[in-house]
């Protein structure tokens, strides 16, 4: 498993593969890989001849007071996880390689970034769009893979690719969960034992709402109230947001007459976790 640290190394490797007529997949990550990342890598390997995993904690998507310095990092663990999942190499640049001292160009977006995490984390998606655009230009992948746990991010990337005419196909992959339902996340490593147990409330709250929808409930205020009551029943859990939005535009809805995303962000202790599910308008669902 090669670890490439410069843009030039990546470009030379990808050019070699493409001269051989090989299809290239990209899995962008911030490292500290877990089973969720591994599932993305495996999916990429099933659809491409070669797969690159980017492993870069992107400073420009963190706001003041967020966990940039504390974000978990372990490149040797990441190397083994990526290799075991079938990746061919890791792109692990330092900050200077990605953002030189004179860096001054950014990719921004309006509308779709204004709610949910975009509202709570000003500038976050500007950083995401900028780094992902750079990765697309560096790697020039045929396909790129993102997890559905970060549903707003996935929607943002899809819109950016459409708007800016990137020649890459975006693949969303299902949320991978622990046996007790907690969505896999690198930030789960921050949780102590008591917080880890309390964190199961996110999935429990969403599952309760989904069950109610299957039983016929359609009032958004009722569903969000159910979610809030479940979360607030855990002393360590504090709601950041509970939103029901159009699954493409990320805009709030008042009625469920199109596919909707039910998304939550919850502080468990000091750790902010997110989760969601999508309700599709199709036979048997509504």
As annotated, the active-site residues are: 37
Cα 23 to Cα 52: distance, rounded to the nearest angstrom: 11
Sign of CA dihedral 1, 6, 10, 106: positive
Sign of CA dihedral 61, 42, 265, 168: positive
CB contact set of 179 (below 8 Å; sequence gap of 6+): none
Cβ proximity of 127 and 52 under 8 Å: no
- What are the CA-CA distances from residue 45 to residues 17, 42, 78, 129, 146 (Å)? 14, 5, 17, 24, 14
Nearest to 121 by CA among 186, 67, 188, 56: 67
Radius of gyration of the chain (CA): 19
- Tell me how far the alpha carbon of residue 190 is from its chain's centroid: 18
285, with CB counted inside 10 A (0-12, 13-18, 19+), is exposed
Cα 47 to Cα 43: distance, rounded to the nearest angstrom: 7
Cα 261 to Cα 248: distance, rounded to the nearest angstrom: 9
Cβ proximity of 151 and 34 under 8 Å: no
């Amino acid at each position: 498993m090669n670890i490439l640290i410069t843009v030039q190394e990546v470009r030379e490797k990808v050019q070699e593969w493409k001269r051989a007529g090989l299809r290239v997949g990209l899995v962008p990550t911030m490292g500290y890989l877990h089973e969720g990342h591994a599932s993305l890598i495996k999916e990429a390997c099933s659809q491409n001849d070669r797969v690159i995993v980017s492993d870069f904690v992107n400073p420009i998507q963190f706001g003041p007071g967020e966990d940039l310095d504390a974000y978990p990092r372990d490149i040797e663990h990441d190397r083994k996880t990526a290799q075991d999942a079938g990746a061919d190499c890791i792109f692990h640049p330092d900050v200077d390689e990605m953002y030189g001292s004179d860096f001054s160009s950014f990719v921004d977006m309006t509308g779709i970034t204004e709610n949910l995490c975009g509202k709570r984390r000003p500038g976050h998606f500007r950083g995401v769009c900028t780094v992902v655009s750079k990765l697309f230009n560096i790697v020039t992948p045929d396909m790129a893979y993102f997890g559905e746990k970060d549903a707003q991010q996935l929607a943002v990337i899809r819109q950016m690719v459409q708007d800016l005419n990137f020649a890459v196909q975006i693949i969303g992959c299902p949320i991978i969960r622990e046996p007790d339902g907690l969505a896999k996340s690198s930030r789960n490593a921050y949780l102590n034992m008591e917080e880890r147990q309390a964190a199961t409330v996110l999935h429990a709250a969403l599952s309760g709402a989904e069950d109610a929808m299957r039983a016929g409930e359609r009032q958004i205020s009722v569903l969000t109230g159910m979610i809030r009551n479940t979360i607030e029943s855990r002393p360590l859990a504090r709601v950041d947001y509970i939103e029901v939005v159009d699954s493409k535009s990320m805009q709030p809805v008042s009625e469920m007459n199109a596919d909707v995303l039910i998304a939550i962000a919850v502080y468990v202790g000091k750790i902010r976790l997110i989760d969601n599910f999508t309700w599709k308008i199709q036979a048997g669902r509504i």
